[in-house]
Amino acid sequence: MRGAVVLAVPAIVLSVGTPAFAGDTWVSLVNSQVAVASMQHVDDGDYFRVYDKLADGHGVRGYLYHYNSPVDKTLVATKYNGGAGTYAQFQYDVWELNTYAIQVCSVDGSNDTSPGPCSPIRNFTE
């Protein structure tokens, strides 16, 4: 019986010591069944990638929000990408047990203050 107790303790320590990864989160903007843009949260390293998928003369902008409460969110980062077929990337350390959201919109240049159309907002928790 004593040996069973000793063997059980290392098993518990090993299961607790392994980090958990939530996985990547994606959101996409589709117009007339054509993928215009996407935004990805790369969980390993907390990178955010904004993809411009269409050479249409428009750029795209990705938005990262942090929820302060269930109904109140704050914009914490944004990234413009005007190069079709490429992605622009930024890093932002998301905190465990906090809720964030990503969204990507079509824009007319990096200074466009009225983006649209936009993807749905996609919430995620680390």
In tens, the pLDDT along 64-116 reads 999 999 889 999 999 999 988 889 999 999 999 999 999 999 999 999 988 99
76 vs 9, 43, 64, 73, CA distance in Å?
42, 17, 6, 9
In tens, the pLDDT along 12-43 reads 333 333 344 558 999 999 999 999 999 999 99
SS3 label, residue 92: coil
Domains of the chain (ranges; CATH) run 2-125 (2.60.40)
- Placement of tokens 């824009």 in the chain: 107
114 vs 6, 20, 54, 62, CA distance in Å?
63, 38, 19, 13
